[in-house]
Structure 1
């Protein structure tokens, strides 16, 4: 990592290297890496496979073979490429199944739509074969820290697979599994967000937003039948879904203005109008939250030009043209490094952190809906870290979306609490 140090009085941009943490130091921060002596229990593994894009298109249109090829090609899709990716995925899946059976496992295999609580509870370990999205969907239904989840990336060229095993696992999965059987790995516990509602009545059921269902349901209508209600606040109910990456709260229709109250920790609640609220874990801080928080090269250049006008140290010695020259001297590569350093310093967080990151998306401030001027007596935070968040809905067609996969309706007047508890950690592994 690098820090940018602007020495305005000498017109120097100096790059100072920040001390690096080793991977082991990073993972052991907070005591959430444990060194295994016993191997993974492979007696009853549950393997969840993703739907390939080809399978999705077949289901979507009810076509196959030449008819599907002609349709997809007419839309600009490459049928041959989809077919090749489909075959590649199933080749990796077969390797995983063969490897598990080679160590005496009684394997159960399902696709995402068949992944149930009963199967989860009856399994000794869960594997996903797909990418990070498949891993996230599997993780959301595991509600305790005792059930291991291991991801295999079936297409490293299309998915980063940050949550999955290294891609070299695919080269020799039998040998890699033997390492897991022999305990040659480390347990790694990723912190997750728990969602608790104030409720008095029927517990809502989340609706699935997974790709294979998007074209077959009226989600807005279904959302209204899966509502976190405002009626009654006598009971606290923990929803049976955990967020490994992030939680979004806002209007279901993205173009609508989201209106809600939010309480950060023990601060007084404040009203917000915006494009919604994004709350992230340490794991999710390098996903959507990172993209949301990113500062572009052009923004950095303009901010350097504008901010220099307000620096008292520059006022007497440097002109506006002088400060503009400083920003213009920076190359695109240097600006990209500054942008990356900002994310690493202030956004990216350890996956084992007990803190949540939150950010109000596109906050609205105008002459009618004003940001408070006096913040000494009543803090008004639109982004930062939090231990607990309490959100009070003032939404029309509000929703709470977990990891982009599961959605609950969020009635006006309803309350939800977000927090991270150690008992909700997800048990995964890291290989040396």
Structure 2
């Protein structure tokens, strides 16, 4: 075996003795912070770590930041009784060993892992240099990133659920680039925005003359995604009759264009997303149970922003940093407090919109709570009058529904069971137009 770099975290004397017998170029890190610095600047295909159960979450976060390495754990046998530790080993590690160490098995394990690391490196497509990644260090996001890392080298169907504005498409793109890089296409389809009469044509394509207006041959979204990822956003909005044809494609991996009887096989990884309660929709007959089981092979959930408040300031700072050409700005103390106190019914999408608007419209070097339009909503939280509470609830429901159906006011009115005229009046009342 040629000399290869191996990072050892929390090294111990017995481990050093065993590794000295192999042809490893060892680098030692006596803390996770030192390991993070070494991983950021060094090329270590393998990482060997003596696991301290008190560092479980910090270690999980470190592994999530470096999913392209193969991690091997060393652990005291009695600690395997801890469920959290077992979950960490299952989710994040290529292999693990218990003390006292078996020298022969450890050397064999390291050699095998090195071979796997080389194969993965050869097969891994390049990641786009400027690809946006999921931002955050809160526990729900750390867990989500770890799950995504585990799915990078497989093509199983994934169902992404969570409230509107939580980054479901961003999850789909990370899954795609982790598997295909820039080599394979990523085709996104908004199932709720397609006209019902054109859904079949949009998904499967059509031949010339298939229907009135079909003046040329057109490939569908599924064929366009051949060799890559098909992202079916708002899958819960797909009509039942169209769910049947989608199910047939998932079962056979073949498509037929509208107006043609010739079938064509395609190689597509399907990721679907929805903000509805799918199990409830199945129980109510609004979503086919067989299609649900086809899509729900792996389930990922994107957390609401109110459940990851530790990330609010980080995300707001990222939005400011992305706005090139904007003068140097920062948030006032009151603005930071208001952002932390606010419920964010529109989630990350709402935060992006508010910060971008405030950065453009504020007049001083500091973004204030009123620039974010949070000062009024914050004061409502402390106003005990029934009128204030009612108006706050009314505004929140409007914001949540608008976030679910952007640019579809007719659907917003239908969901709220009010007329279009009443909707416009309420939007004007709450300055949401």
**Structure 2 length normalisation: TM-score?**
0.31
Higher strand share: 1
Structure holding more helix per residue:
2
**Higher RCO structure, 1 or 2 (CA under 8 Å, sep 6+):** 1
Q: TM-score, normalised by structure 1?
A: 0.31
**Rg: which structure is higher?**
2
